[in-house]
Amino acid sequence: MAQEQVRIFDTTLRDGEQAPGFSLRPSEKLLLARQLDALGVDIIEAGFPIASLADAEAVRDISLAVRRPIIACLARCHRADLEKAVEAIKPAARGRIHTFIATSDLHLAVKLRMTREQCLETAVEAVRFARHHVADVQFSAEDATRSDMDFLCRVIEAVIKAGATTINLPDTVGYSTPDETYEFFKTISERVPHSDAVVFSAHCHDDLGLAVANTLAAIRGGARQVECTVNGIGERAGNAAIEEIVMAIRVRQDRMPFDTNIDARQIYASSEMLTRLTGQGVQVNKAIVGRNAFAHEAGIHQDGMLKDRRTYEIMRAEDVGAPWNPMVLGKHSGRHAVQKRCADLGIAVEGVELIDVYRALMAIADDRKVLTDEDVRAVAASVRAGAEPPKTAGAKTFEAPAAAVGATHESGYGHGV
């Protein structure tokens, strides 16, 4: 049976780029857009044309150069915004105008200073104007998850009648929980007339660290488009990370029998390009693309990895295009990992010699934290020469406890969780 398709709407170049420290020049946006095309995203949100001349230029450049995916641009429900969006998106082979207005009572009263009826009329007018110029119109109800359900359903029904083809329901401030998100999308798709004629989209922020979980819950609730960014960048704590959504769907097909058009082997390259262009790195333990995502120092883990990678890896680094060098030697490593690293360097050590090399390396690891290939070569050479093994400044002489050289320490001291 064919799997249902989930569209990937990448907003790295719009919502992601709005985050402090992540701004990009038009030429850099175009470079990244080409990489997003290679990644296989379905929609690239290229910018917010009314925001600046550079943003409008970037949308036009990307529309001209990147032809496979849909190219979207953002516009508030204001005539000036919409006119700028129409102009910028005109060269696209497949252009989309994405227009939005807040629907929560808090935003209406404090930010927009308008009534619900004014909001409804403004939304309908904007969608009609956009639909007059393009066939593909996305409407977003900003702060949807904190909006009154009855009013939100009225707005959605009205903009569908006005010509919206995609309805995005953002968790703008990352307030929802997965169970709420599932019920939210399910309820709306059941209550709104003609909901089957449009695609519902989820746009989740990570203020409580739940963006990806909420996005996956939205898919279960009926969303078939998800809005996300490379490395999870975006306003405040960021957006749902594209790499985490895609790989969660792939790894857990038993729970999420869906498919995307993403070429997962381009995930790491996309992450690296974004890091290079913005100068903003990812945390070392970041899922999927962090430096430690496929690294193992704990001896128990290393021993299992040497026997069968599936013991401690639910996906492979090469599946996402990441370099795979999983054995990090440090104070938690075991003899098997040390022996394997020596073998990789062309140094065969066994028996007593292996124990001596292992002891000396662990003494250095207490001070150094991570052992390099040069450390391994130097220690092995010293042990074979019968010399005092090299130590770093301040390193302590290491006396391994009896268990460290016996059967109970085959895999080192690292714990298994």
Q: What is the pLDDT along the chain (417 residues), one digit of tens a residue?
A: 568 999 999 999 999 999 988 999 999 999 999 999 999 999 999 999 999 999 999 999 999 999 999 999 999 999 999 999 999 999 999 999 999 999 999 999 999 999 999 999 999 999 999 999 999 999 999 999 999 999 999 999 999 999 999 999 999 999 999 999 999 999 999 999 999 999 999 999 999 999 999 999 999 999 999 999 999 999 999 999 999 999 999 999 999 999 999 999 999 999 999 999 999 999 988 999 988 777 655 556 665 656 777 777 889 989 999 876 666 677 777 787 788 888 888 989 898 888 888 888 888 877 766 777 888 888 898 888 876 666 543 343 333 333 333 333 333 323 333
Element housing 55 (H / E)? helix 53-65
Regarding pTM above 0.85, the answer is no
Using an 8 Å Cβ cutoff, are 191 and 159 in contact?
A: no
Which residues, listed in sequence order, are joined to residue 71 by a DSSP beta bridge? Answer: 44, 95
- Side-chain-side CA neighbours of 358 within 13 Å: the count stands at 28
* pLDDT score of 388: 65
Nearest to 299 by CA among 347, 365, 383, 346: 365
- Side-chain-side CA neighbours of 38 within 13 Å: the count stands at 15
Q: State the Rg of the chain over Cα.
A: 26
* pLDDT score of 325: 63
H-only helix segments in 101-205 = 105-106, 116-133, 149-162, 178-191
Q: What are the φ/ψ torsions at residue 278 (nearest 5 degrees)?
A: -95, -20
* pLDDT score of 25: 95
Residues of the chain with CATH 3.20.20.70: 4-278
For residue 149, give both structure tokens. Answer: 């359900």
CATH topology of domain 4-278: TIM Barrel (3.20.20)
* pLDDT score of 96: 98
* pLDDT score of 327: 64
Nearest to 97 by CA among 126, 118, 120, 124: 126
Nearest to 371 by CA among 408, 413, 320, 334: 334
* pLDDT score of 373: 80
The amino acid sitting at 34 is R
For residue 277, give both structure tokens. Answer: 């262009």
